Amino acid sequence: MATKEDNLKAIISHAKEYGFVFQSSEIYDGLSAVYDYGQMGAELKKNIKEYWWKAMVNMHENIVGIDSAIFMHPTTWKASGHVDAFSDPLIDNKDSKKRYRADVLIEEHIEKIRLKIEKDVAKGIKRFGDDFDEEQFKATNPNVLRNQTKIDDINARFKAAMDDDNLTGIKILIKDLEIACPVSGSKNWTDVKQFNLMFSTEIGAVADSANTIYLRPETAQGIFVNYLNVQKSGRMKIPFGIAQIGKAFRNEIVARQFIFRMREFEQMEMQFFVRPGEEMKWYEYWKEARLKWHLSLGISKENYRFHDHVKLAHYANAATDIEFNFPMGFKELEGIHSRTDFDLKQHEKFSGKKLQYFDPEINESYVPFVVETSVGLDRTFLAILSAAFTEEKLDNDTSRIVLKLPIFLAPVKVAIMPLTRKDGLPEKARDVLDLLKFDYNCQYDEKDSPGKRYRRQDAIGTPYCVMIDHQTLEDNTVTIRDRDTMEQERVVITKIEAILKNKLDIREVLS
């Protein structure tokens, strides 16, 4: 049976073979945790961005989008707390010389205990069938209770150590839990150190510390510093949101999981500005709305779960992650944070400018509270790609690899193929291409047998293949082949556009 690692390997090699994702600077042996999107990947990524933008900006009257610069005034990062506190606790294994995030080692240990609980629950379901009451079982089963207490104790010790910046406490916890290095198997650990994740460089010709600027580690601050500009120029009334898609950079300690953890990546963020005291209502609203967005991609519900933060970031009063069942297990896909008025207040303090809003409904001025939704574009890409990647056995004892992507996200929407390269079929096929290319990303393919061409399109997730054959020359009809059912339907050329329009309509998905 294929393991999860095999599955990830198969996805990585498929992504390379078909032009989705390449290792950056591969001819120089690559750059660790940096990736390039190829011809198919760039299309898929663009389509995901557009879909997010449509759902967040176009579908909400009170959300607008901006595009702020990557470089920002260095004081921004002092104000936001990133210069002092944007760090991860790192630990090295002395035998394997591998570096880890101490918090991730602890989280993975907790996950193992949680899986034991899940196993016990599964046994219970098997034993009691329809009569099984999961809540009661979890509240009474001694094994489950013991394991849950273990998890709670670890979480409490971890939180206390992180809150006090007690790095020795974290090392002791790792020792007490007998966590071993997955590579060397040894428990021979260094002390835990804090490591700032921001990349810095110099602006202008003179290199001195006064000219140090940072590559932004999150896009959010570009929204905060523009909050008043947007509010005033757009005459926005609270509650309202500002969205943005853009690159962020983090000098990640551990970078071994393909595009899941990159040093240069893209975020799709939205900051929602609300009246103080109403933030929890909006936090709940956005939790639900964002999960709904993910589910609208057609991936089944069991692949998602919420994970509330035990240790809150310095700016948050509530935070949760939407986790996805990636090929390497459940991991964070999106963060939803109630950021209070922390950021705007800090920017007021450091800039000396007022960032208040006059609320005409209650006749009061205040610094708004903020609820943030922040999803990684690359992680969304990986989630979609891994859920779509399917190896299918066919009736005739062969198999195919097909990317069952949501059709509105597919890089190529229609492949246009003449059955043969003669008898005027290529010319006719190009006429069809000319008809469709203004509205859809099409691919023209005349090489190899139809079967091979269909497989190639399956492998990149093209939902429809239009075949032009000799009958087309007689009666202007073509066949349209459906990627998922592999069924072919004969239709007149003039109808293709209407059929595609209907199949690619995202009204229902978005509403």
**Site residues, ligand ATP (CB under 6 A):** 218, 250, 252, 261-262, 265, 267, 332-335, 374-376, 378-379
The least CB distance from residue 105 to ligand ATP, in Å, is: 13
Decide whether 88 or 458 has the Cβ nearer to ligand ATP: 88
Both structure tokens of 453: 């061409």
Closer residue to ligand ATP, CB minimum distance, 221 or 346? 221
Least separation in angstroms between CB 333 and ligand ATP: 6
What sign does the dihedral 155-160-166-172 (CA atoms) show?
negative
Instruction: Write down the least CB distance from residue 322 to ligand ATP, Å.
Output: 8
* Cα dihedral 76/78/81/87 (nearest 10): 110
What minimum distance in Å lies between the beta carbon of 374 and ligand ATP?
A: 4
CB-nearer residue toward ligand ATP: 161 or 412: 161
Closest of 385, 402, 394 to residue 484, by C-alpha? 402
Which residue's CB is nearer to ligand ATP, number 240 or number 265? 265
Report the side by side order of strands in the sheet with 63-66.
63-66, 240-249, 264-274, 369-376, 329-340, 318-326, 304-308
* Encoded tokens for 416: 């246009």
Of the candidates 246, 244, 242, the one whose C-alpha atom is nearest the C-alpha of residue 230 is 242
Looking at the Cβ atoms of 99 and 116, the one nearer to ligand ATP is 99
Q: Closest separation between CB of residue 216 and ligand ATP, Å?
A: 12
Residue type, 186: S
Q: Which two tokens stand for residue 414?
A: 């229609």
CA distance 195 to 104: 14
Q: Write down the least CB distance from residue 317 to ligand ATP, Å.
A: 15
> Shortest gap between Cβ of 331 and ligand ATP (angstroms)?
7
Give the other-Cβ count within 10 Å of 454's Cβ. 23
In the complex, which residue's CB is closest to ligand ATP?
376
Cα–Cα distance for residue pair 13/7, rounded to 1 Å: 10
Identity of the residue, 265 or 440, whose beta carbon is nearer to ligand ATP in the bound complex: 265
DSSP string, 325-373: EETTEEEEEEEEEEEETHHHHHHHHHH-----EEETTTTEEEPPEEEEE
Shortest distance (Å) from residue 252 CB to ligand ATP: 5
Closer of 257 and 477 to ligand ATP (Cβ): 257
User: 373 or 457: whose CB is closer to ligand ATP?
Assistant: 373
* CA end-to-end distance (rounded Å), the chain: 40
